Chain A
Amino acid sequence: MGYTGKRMPRVDAKDKAAGRAKYAADLCVRDALVAKVLHAERAHALVRSINTDRARQAEGVEAVFTCFDVPKYYFPTAGHPWSTDPEHQDVADRLLLTDHVRFWGDDIAVVVARDELSAVKALRELEVEYEDLPFVLDAQAAMEPGAPQLHEAFPGNVLGHSSIRRGDLEAAIREPGLIRVEGWYDTPTVQHCHIENHNCWAYMEGGRVTVVTSTQIPHIVRRIVGQALGRPWGDVRIIKPYIGGGFGNKQDALYEPLCAWLTTMLGGRPVRIECTREETFHCNRVRHAIRSHIISWVRPDGSFAARKLECWSNQGGYASHGHGIAAKGMNAFPQIYPCDNLECDAWTVFTNLPPAGAMRGYGIPQATFAGEAHIDDVARAIGMSPLELRRKIAMPKGYRDDFSGNVNWSDSFRACMEAGAKATDFERRFAELSKPQTGNIRRGVGMALYWYNTGVWPISLESSSCRMVLNQDGSVQVFTGETEIGQGCDTVYAQMTADAVGIPFESVHVVTVQDTDTTPYGSGAYASRQTYVGGFAIDNTGKILRGKILDYAAKLTKLPAGQLGLREGFIENDRGERLMSLAELATEALYSMEDSRHITAEATAQIKSNAYSFGCSFAEVEVDLRLCRIRVTRLMNVHDCGKLINPQLAEAQVHGGMSMGMGYALSEQLRFDEKTGRPLNGNLLDYKLLTFTDHPRLEALFCENAEPTSPFGTKALGEPPACPPAPAIRNAVLQATGIAFGAIPMTPEKLFRALEEGGGSDV
Chain B
Amino acid sequence: MNDRQFKHIRCTINSRAVDAMVDVRASLTELLRGEFALTSVKHGCDVGECGACTVLIDGEPFNSCIYLAVWADGKDITTVDGLAEPDGSLSPLQQAFVDEGAIQCGFCTPGLILTAQSLINRGEPLSDEELRRELAGHLCRCTGYENIFKAVRRALDESLGKKG
Residues on A facing B (Cβ under 8 Å): 9-10, 12-23, 25-26, 30, 59, 117, 192-197, 242-245, 247, 276-277, 485-488, 648-649, 651-653, 655-660, 662, 683-685, 689, 691-693, 695, 697-698
Q: Are A692 and B105 neighbours in the complex by a CB distance under 8 Å?
A: no
Contact A18 to B47, CB < 8 A, known contacts A9-B98, A245-B105, A656-B104: no
Contact A655 to B139, CB < 8 A, known contacts A19-B79, A245-B107: no
Q: Are A655 and B106 neighbours in the complex by a CB distance under 8 Å?
A: no
Contact A697 to B146, CB < 8 A, known contacts A17-B103, A685-B47: yes
Sampled A-B contacts (22; CB under 8 Å): A9-B98, A9-B99, A13-B103, A14-B90, A16-B106, A17-B98, A18-B81, A18-B83, A19-B39, A20-B40, A20-B81, A195-B44, A195-B105, A195-B107, A242-B106, A486-B107, A651-B101, A655-B143, A659-B141, A683-B47, A691-B139, A695-B132
Q: Are B135 and A684 neighbours in the complex by a CB distance under 8 Å?
A: no
Q: B146 — which chain A residues lie within 8 A by C-beta?
A: 652, 655, 695, 697-698
Q: Are B108 and A18 neighbours in the complex by a CB distance under 8 Å?
A: no
Q: A25 — which chain B residues lie within 8 A by C-beta?
A: 39, 43
Task: Give the interface centre of B33, B103, B104, B108 by most chain A CB atoms within 10 Å.
Answer: B104
Interface positions, chain B 44-76, Cβ under 8 Å from A, are 44-47, 49-50, 52
Partner of A17, one of B50, B97, B107: B97
A656 and B140 CA atoms in complex are apart in Å by 9
Contact A695 to B142, CB < 8 A, known contacts A18-B80, A194-B105, A277-B45: no
Chain B residues with a Cβ closer than 8 Å to the other chain, count: 55
The 9 closest A-B pairs by CB, nearest first: A19-B40, A486-B105, A244-B107, A16-B106, A659-B144, A26-B39, A655-B144, A684-B49, A19-B80
Q: A14 — which chain B residues lie within 8 A by C-beta?
A: 90, 94, 98
**What 0/1 pattern do residues 120 to 164 of B give for CB contact below 8 A with A?**
000000000100110110111111111101000000000000000
In the assembled complex, the CB of A365 is this many whole angstroms from the nearest CB of chain B, namely 15
Residues on B facing A (Cβ under 8 Å): 1, 25, 33-34, 38-40, 42-47, 49-50, 52, 79-81, 83-84, 88, 90, 94-95, 97-99, 101-110, 113, 129, 132-133, 135-136, 138-147, 149
Partner of B136, one of A10, A684, A691: A691
A697 and B104 CA atoms in complex are apart in Å by 18
Contact A16 to B141, CB < 8 A, known contacts A277-B45, A655-B146: no
Q: A244 — which chain B residues lie within 8 A by C-beta?
A: 42, 44, 105-108
A486 and B129 CA atoms in complex are apart in Å by 27
A490 and B105 CA atoms in complex are apart in Å by 12
Q: Are A195 and B42 neighbours in the complex by a CB distance under 8 Å?
A: yes
Partner of A196, one of B38, B44, B94, B110: B44
Q: B144 — which chain A residues lie within 8 A by C-beta?
A: 655-660, 662, 695, 698
Q: With A196-B105, A684-B139 given, can you name 7 additional A-B contacts, CB distance below 8 Å?
A: A17-B97, A649-B101, A655-B143, A684-B47, A685-B49, A693-B129, A695-B146
A9 and B94 CA atoms in complex are apart in Å by 13
Q: Are A16 and B109 neighbours in the complex by a CB distance under 8 Å?
A: yes
Q: Are B135 and A692 neighbours in the complex by a CB distance under 8 Å?
A: yes
In the assembled complex, the CB of B131 is this many whole angstroms from the nearest CB of chain A, namely 9
Q: A658 — which chain B residues lie within 8 A by C-beta?
A: 144
In the assembled complex, the CB of A199 is this many whole angstroms from the nearest CB of chain B, namely 10
Task: Give the interface centre of A13, A21, A242 by most chain B CB atoms within 10 Å.
Answer: A13
A250 and B44 CA atoms in complex are apart in Å by 15
Partner of B97, one of A13, A247, A657: A13
Q: B97 — which chain A residues lie within 8 A by C-beta?
A: 13, 17
Q: Are A22 and B39 neighbours in the complex by a CB distance under 8 Å?
A: yes
Contact A689 to B141, CB < 8 A, known contacts A17-B103, A18-B80: yes
Q: Are B99 and A692 neighbours in the complex by a CB distance under 8 Å?
A: no
Q: B49 — which chain A residues lie within 8 A by C-beta?
A: 277, 683-685
- Identify the closest chain B residue to A659 (Cβ): B144
In the assembled complex, the CB of A318 is this many whole angstroms from the nearest CB of chain B, namely 24
- Identify the closest chain B residue to A245 (Cβ): B105
- Identify the closest chain A residue to B108 (Cβ): A195
Q: Are A195 and B140 neighbours in the complex by a CB distance under 8 Å?
A: yes
A697 and B132 CA atoms in complex are apart in Å by 11
- Identify the closest chain B residue to A22 (Cβ): B39
A236 and B106 CA atoms in complex are apart in Å by 28
Partner of B149, one of A10, A20, A648, A692: A692
Q: A247 — which chain B residues lie within 8 A by C-beta?
A: 141
Q: Are A17 and B94 neighbours in the complex by a CB distance under 8 Å?
A: yes
Q: Are B143 and A656 neighbours in the complex by a CB distance under 8 Å?
A: yes
In the assembled complex, the CB of B126 is this many whole angstroms from the nearest CB of chain A, namely 13
In the assembled complex, the CB of B3 is this many whole angstroms from the nearest CB of chain A, namely 12
A432 and B25 CA atoms in complex are apart in Å by 62
In the assembled complex, the CB of B110 is this many whole angstroms from the nearest CB of chain A, namely 5
A316 and B42 CA atoms in complex are apart in Å by 31
- Identify the closest chain A residue to B128 (Cβ): A697
A723 and B126 CA atoms in complex are apart in Å by 34
Contact A656 to B141, CB < 8 A, known contacts A17-B97, A244-B106, A692-B149: yes
A20 and B113 CA atoms in complex are apart in Å by 14
Q: B44 — which chain A residues lie within 8 A by C-beta?
A: 195-197, 244, 277, 684
Q: Are B140 and A652 neighbours in the complex by a CB distance under 8 Å?
A: no
Q: Are A196 and B42 neighbours in the complex by a CB distance under 8 Å?
A: yes
Q: A30 — which chain B residues lie within 8 A by C-beta?
A: 34
- Identify the closest chain B residue to A486 (Cβ): B105
Contact A18 to B90, CB < 8 A, known contacts A195-B141, A277-B44, A652-B147: yes
- Identify the closest chain B residue to A192 (Cβ): B141
Q: A692 — which chain B residues lie within 8 A by C-beta?
A: 132-133, 135-136, 138, 145, 149
Q: Are A18 and B88 neighbours in the complex by a CB distance under 8 Å?
A: yes
Q: A695 — which chain B residues lie within 8 A by C-beta?
A: 132, 144-146
In the assembled complex, the CB of A59 is this many whole angstroms from the nearest CB of chain B, namely 6
A652 and B148 CA atoms in complex are apart in Å by 10
In the assembled complex, the CB of B76 is this many whole angstroms from the nearest CB of chain A, namely 18
Q: B110 — which chain A residues lie within 8 A by C-beta?
A: 19
Q: A9 — which chain B residues lie within 8 A by C-beta?
A: 98-99
A697 and B144 CA atoms in complex are apart in Å by 9
Task: Give the interface centre of A22, A652, A689 by most chain B CB atoms within 10 Å.
Answer: A652
- Identify the closest chain A residue to B110 (Cβ): A19
A26 and B94 CA atoms in complex are apart in Å by 21
Q: Are A656 and B142 neighbours in the complex by a CB distance under 8 Å?
A: yes
- Identify the closest chain B residue to A484 (Cβ): B105
In the assembled complex, the CB of A192 is this many whole angstroms from the nearest CB of chain B, namely 7
A514 and B8 CA atoms in complex are apart in Å by 41
A78 and B135 CA atoms in complex are apart in Å by 36
Q: B52 — which chain A residues lie within 8 A by C-beta?
A: 195-196
In the assembled complex, the CB of A115 is this many whole angstroms from the nearest CB of chain B, namely 10
A697 and B52 CA atoms in complex are apart in Å by 23
A117 and B90 CA atoms in complex are apart in Å by 37
Q: A242 — which chain B residues lie within 8 A by C-beta?
A: 105-106
In the assembled complex, the CB of A212 is this many whole angstroms from the nearest CB of chain B, namely 14
Q: Are A652 and B145 neighbours in the complex by a CB distance under 8 Å?
A: no
- Identify the closest chain B residue to A13 (Cβ): B98
- Identify the closest chain A residue to B129 (Cβ): A693
A691 and B34 CA atoms in complex are apart in Å by 30
Q: Are B98 and A23 neighbours in the complex by a CB distance under 8 Å?
A: no
